[in-house]
Amino acid sequence: MQSLLELRLEPNWHAVKASWQLCLAALEGGGLDRDQALALSIAAQELLENAVKYGARQGSNLELRIEKEPREVRVQVRNPAGATDKVEELQAHLAWLRSQPDALTAYQTRLRELAASDPPASGGLGLARVAYESRCALECALESGSVVVRAIYRL
């Protein structure tokens, strides 16, 4: 397994935004074409944004790791505990995504649900977007006191 990028980031929006170019450069440098690199950079940004939004703890860092194997690329975000109460909710959402016929259907369904809610609801769209736009399989787990979310892209 080839590690393309490993970053420790403060859990804030500025650090997430600053990681974009590093992700893109690492993915292209790892042999992915521009479209693949853009798709996986989007996935990395969404996972980092979710970590900041739903579970980052002050004084702890997020970890971003991008690894390449011969047949897949993994984008992983590790968020120290504090988001542990969200793990079951996150796992349920990922199970719902997997239960849909395909990623496009899941994305469209979630868009319609959000548009129809009154008052307007939020949440749950970003991971559907990653599954659809980035063509990634998603998984999460609680590992050593951290929430770990992976986007897996098949080459």
What's the whole-model pTM score?
A: 0.90
Instruction: State pLDDT tens for residues 66-77.
Output: 999 999 999 999
Between 33-42, 71-80, 109-118, the lowest mean confidence (pLDDT) is in: 109-118
Percent of the chain with pLDDT over 90: 68
Looking at residue 80, its pLDDT comes to 81
Instruction: State pLDDT tens for residues 129-138.
Output: 999 999 999 9
For the chain, which domains are there? 2-154 (3.30.565.10)
Burial label for 16, CB within 10 Å (0-12, 13-18, 19+), is: buried
Whether residue 149 contacts residue 90, with contact meaning beta carbons closer than 8 Å, is answered with yes
